[in-house]
Chain A
Amino acid sequence: MIGSRCKKFLTVSGTILALNFIFFTFASAKDLNMVMKKGDIHPKLSSSLWELEKEYEKGVMAAQAYAQSRNLRTESPDKITVYLLSESGTIIDETSLQDYGGEIIKSADNVWKAIVPINLIETIADNVKGISFIKLPDRGIPVASESEGVGLTGASFYHSEGNTGSGVKVAVIDIGFAGLSSAISAGELPNTVVMIDCTGSSCVPTSFSSETVFHGTAVAEIVHDMAPESALYLIKTYDTLDLKDAKDYAIANGIKIINHSVVYSNTNFYSGECYNSNPACTAEDAYSNGILWVNAMGNYAEQHYGATYTDSKDYGFHNVSGADWNINIEASEGDIIKVKLTWDAWPTTDQDYDLHLFDSNINLVESSMTRQTGTQPPTEVIYYSVPATGTYHLAIRKYSATSDHRLAVFSLEHDTDPVVASSSITSPADAIGVMAVGAIDYENWTTGPQESFSSQGPTNDGRIKPEISGPDNVTSDTYGASFPGTSAASPHVAGAAALILSQNPTYSVSQLWNALTSSAADMGSSGQDNIYGYGRLNLPNFHPYTAMPWIPLLLLYEDKRSEWTGSAGFGELSFVVDSTGTRITEITYKWIEFSCGPAIRNGTITYTGMWPITNNQFTIEGTIDPNFEMTLRGSFDQTGTHASGTYEATSYGTICPGTWDAALLQ
């Protein structure tokens, strides 16, 4: 074994030496200034500062370009902050430094922090008494935080396999991107993000320098955690027309995935209907153009009321519960009560309902009484600044309608009593072509429940939503705390989609959709349901596992994947365990005159996949062809060199069981 390692070491070392020789020979031949001679650098200067001054001699722009490429922090185009080091017990001549335009900021022991002119760094090093060396300040290194969802959903497994989402363009369309430069310098986002502002008459490049809302930055951070090599487009919008512009920009720029952790109310009856360039139209058009649109479901399961209008006592007001007319809201002084009402009379109507808000003494404090005469949408909105803490009461009045309509009420800031969690979905999550995402606290990831606030399906036309669930309450550097809500769950799905698309660049949007939903780990009712969708996000071929105690040790010692081969009742088999020792990544069946049912099978087939090894055991199931299935079960023995188990072949309905035995290839 040691001999084998030596051989490998020599081979690798030899290859590196050979490549070095070829590269530098080529560089020399091309007269490339690849290597700076150590003697060129001033003995009292760090190489970066010495090179910066040389670049400055070419011009300010050249110096700035150099500083940017090396992440050097210049105070102005002409000055830079440095550390001046002195010999122990020696004082730097501050007057002399000032004569050269330098300025000491602070000092401790033999380190002096100063701002100096870039073009005089070498002169200062030579002429200011007491300086023994000049270097860049020792800066703290930011430690990037990562969402817990990266590991839970299988993204970290993809990363370890070398798939980080490269080649895929992902847009985060959101309402604000404050803190972007901090996020970039902290390593939470790449410095290559494309920044676009669609809130004006068209979409234009921007720097987001005067932003106040951090939401989009926090969302982008999660996409980047999930798919760090994907190209990020951060697009700011304000309303539904901006959203349409953003979608058009995405189409024009080859973006394949959009994350939209933002919702809209009162733009339809939450049935995914497309009216007047509403978000459902926009998202559907994106899907038609091959873009996967991933959207937060909304956080309104506890802030929604829905029912068909009834008025048993003929009061002219909707009976919410029995004869009660009131939907209650607990609000504190200084809160804003924001309530939106719509009814199923879209897109325009002459069926007129009004919305009223009463205080705890049943004094009317706010109303929304838009007159619907045939050309207006069926919507009412209340926006009320709360002057005193207490219970406030909403009432829905039928002002003029010829029939009883279905009503949908969203209280955007406060819980409602009573509450109707069902159909608390918002738009455009309600659209058919939108992958709607619910939220599960990452600490309850495998067990649930869904977050109590996470909006639920079905849509008001009876379609099941969401499609999938993502983790929330995850670590967020932007928020400096955990990031709760479907806003955080959604970008995990968008990032996962980027990883899948990077691995399968020819996938259509429907294939991408199916890859996400079919690999989701089913939760709640079997299949898609109105709580979890198809289940929690679980990237294809990722199988969470419990690691075996001894196989990893064995394989780490070997530092390579292990190959196993053996015989079986059907012929021969071999398989590969990856370097972590926790999953089988390849299985080869070789059938030799294998008789099962009416068929006799010969031949060899190899499959790749990710089959977990849990407690030393594994199961591999697969359909070989429509009339032939194989199920292989096995376990490893305690020596780590031997495995055995059973198989079941099913050929044309006939089940043929048997055993197998395999050994580790040394």
Chain B
Amino acid sequence: MNLHSLLLIILVILILGCLTTTKKDSNAASSLPEKNEDTFPDRIKKGLKPPKELKLSSILYELAVAPEPEKFAKKHDIFLTTGKVRVFVSFNPASSNSERDKLAENFNFMVEKKSNDILRALVPIDRLIPLSKESAVWSIRLPDRAIKP
């Protein structure tokens, strides 16, 4: 074997090696954002996860910060009337009725019905965030609606 043949073989091996290492993994997981937070799509990385002190569901937080809340509500089938959104508010079981009534008064929300520690209310969109910071409030979310299966 002369030197030219040897170099040719080495070249072929190198090219094949390169091809192998650059071959795309058919596994869909290869498209997955990796563990490294820097490679996550922006929205997952910083995104619209509500700040820690807020006890709003993700979609209500998005509504609260949406530049056009009516448009956002319509797109997401959220019930709005005169700037108020229909929500379920869950209260800390230790909170008193007077405490809850006072919140309704202070945050200008209209109670539609209640049961134990949960109530359905129409809350002004701009009061969602401050209301969710209240210690008596455990969570604010869209009502658990019936589904026609």
Interface residues of A (CB under 8 A from B): 175, 200-202, 213, 215, 237-245, 261-267, 276-278, 296, 298-300, 313-317, 319, 322-326, 336, 348, 354, 356, 362-364, 367-371, 373, 375-377, 379-381, 383, 385, 393, 395, 397, 399, 412, 426, 455, 485-487
Contact = CB atoms under 8 A, between A and B. Distances in A.
Given A315-B35, A385-B75, A265 B147 contact: yes
A137 B87 CA distance: 52
A89 B145 CA distance: 65
B41 A325 contact: no
A375 B139 contact: yes
A315 B149 contact: no
Nearest to A239: B143
A370 B141 CA distance: 10
B58 A376 contact: no
Contacts of A326: 28, 32
A514 to B, nearest CB: 27
Contacts of A370: 50, 56-58, 141
B34 interface: yes
Interface stretch (B1-9, B10-18, B96-104, B115-123): B115-123
B139 A376 contact: yes
A245 B141 CA distance: 20
A357 B113 CA distance: 34
Contacts, number: 158
A316 B141 contact: no
Nearest to B29: A323
Interface in B97-149: 112-118, 120, 138-139, 141-149
A353 to B, nearest CB: 12
Nearest to B50: A371
A153 to B, nearest CB: 21
A323 B76 CA distance: 32
A367 B47 contact: yes
Contacts of A487: 148-149
Which of B75, B90, B114, B115 has the largest number of chain A CB atoms within 10 A?
B115
Nearest to B144: A240
A276 B118 contact: yes
Contacts of B80: none
CB-based closest 3 A-B pairs: A375-B138, A369-B49, A277-B115
A239 B146 contact: yes
A362 B51 CA distance: 26
Nearest to B92: A375
A494 to B, nearest CB: 16
B144 A266 contact: yes
Given A241-B115, A362-B31, A373-B52, A296 B149 contact: yes
Nearest to A453: B149
Contact of A369 (B48, B52, B138): B48
Which of A200, A266, A323, A487 has the largest number of chain B CB atoms within 10 A?
A323
B118 A383 contact: no
A82 to B, nearest CB: 43
A276 B28 contact: no
20 contacts: A175-B146, A213-B148, A239-B143, A239-B145, A241-B118, A242-B146, A262-B148, A265-B147, A277-B115, A300-B149, A316-B35, A317-B32, A325-B29, A356-B44, A364-B41, A368-B58, A369-B58, A371-B50, A375-B55, A375-B92
B123 to A, nearest CB: 15
Given A276-B117, A367-B44, A368-B59, A412 B147 contact: yes
Given A264-B144, A377-B141, 7 more contacts: A238-B143, A241-B120, A262-B149, A317-B32, A364-B41, A373-B52, A393-B28
Contacts of A385: 75
